[in-house]
Chain A
């Protein structure tokens, strides 16, 4: 006999109300970042010139703009999930925990939007 309520069984949610979505999101972005991260490291390593004009040309190349957009989106989400676990592990006071999680979420969204805007501005001007 299952002790789960019919509603709980239908929704398929765990005690944290989000099932495996946190774990799964961390893994999916990890796989994406494995490729995007190595690509970005490779591009940085072979770029000889980091002057302003050279960097605008680099970021503005369509393939680089697209992969950079994917990189910052995956990175922001992966980082948010990771920092969330750290906060939940070490901050036990419920009030401070909620505020810290909120600050982390807003900071990650701000960084992601700033990065996307910057890449688009450079990419669409190039």
Chain B
């Protein structure tokens, strides 16, 4: 019996990523990113405690274009990881695992992330 023309799954080059898979990967990437964000948070506290000069260096680094982009990135990663983390806690109750429910909550998490990030920077500016 020949099975050479049966489909390979997942055939990565033509595989359309399910939205749940995208969010799962994003959860891990943003988690790693936020661990680096923790370093920046500690640097902020440490430099503030160290005195006005050290703190000035921290501020000047964060005031560059790259620094600002990094902060926007951290805020996005934070609100994503928070929203998706809440979804994980909801899943821990044993609910929401039907395919349609999981797809819908994926989009809800993305909408929450964009909304929270936008409100954050709108209030901050």
Physical interaction between A and B: yes
Q: Which A residues fall within an 8 A CB radius of B?
A: 27, 30-31, 33-34, 37-38, 41, 44-46, 50, 52, 55-56, 59, 68, 72, 75-76, 79, 82-83, 86, 111, 114-115, 117-119, 121-122
B56→A115 contact, CB < 8 A: no
Closest residue to B52 on the A side, CB-wise? A52
A118→B49 contact, CB < 8 A: yes
Size category of the B interface is 20 to 34
A111→B86 contact, CB < 8 A: no
Secondary structure class of chain A's binding surface, majority of residues? helix
A83→B45 contact, CB < 8 A: no
A111→B49 contact, CB < 8 A: no
Known: A38-B82, A79-B34, A114-B46. A44 touches B55 (CB 8 A): no
Q: How far is the CB of B93 from chain A (nearest CB, A)?
A: 11
A34→B49 contact, CB < 8 A: no
Other A-B pairs, 17, CB within 8 Å; known A82-B35, A121-B49: A27-B92, A30-B88, A33-B82, A33-B85, A37-B78, A45-B120, A45-B124, A46-B124, A55-B55, A68-B45, A79-B34, A82-B32, A86-B28, A111-B42, A114-B42, A115-B41, A122-B45
Residues of A near B48 (CB, < 8 A) are: 52, 55-56, 59, 118, 122
Known: A37-B82, A50-B59, A52-B55. A115 touches B42 (CB 8 A): yes
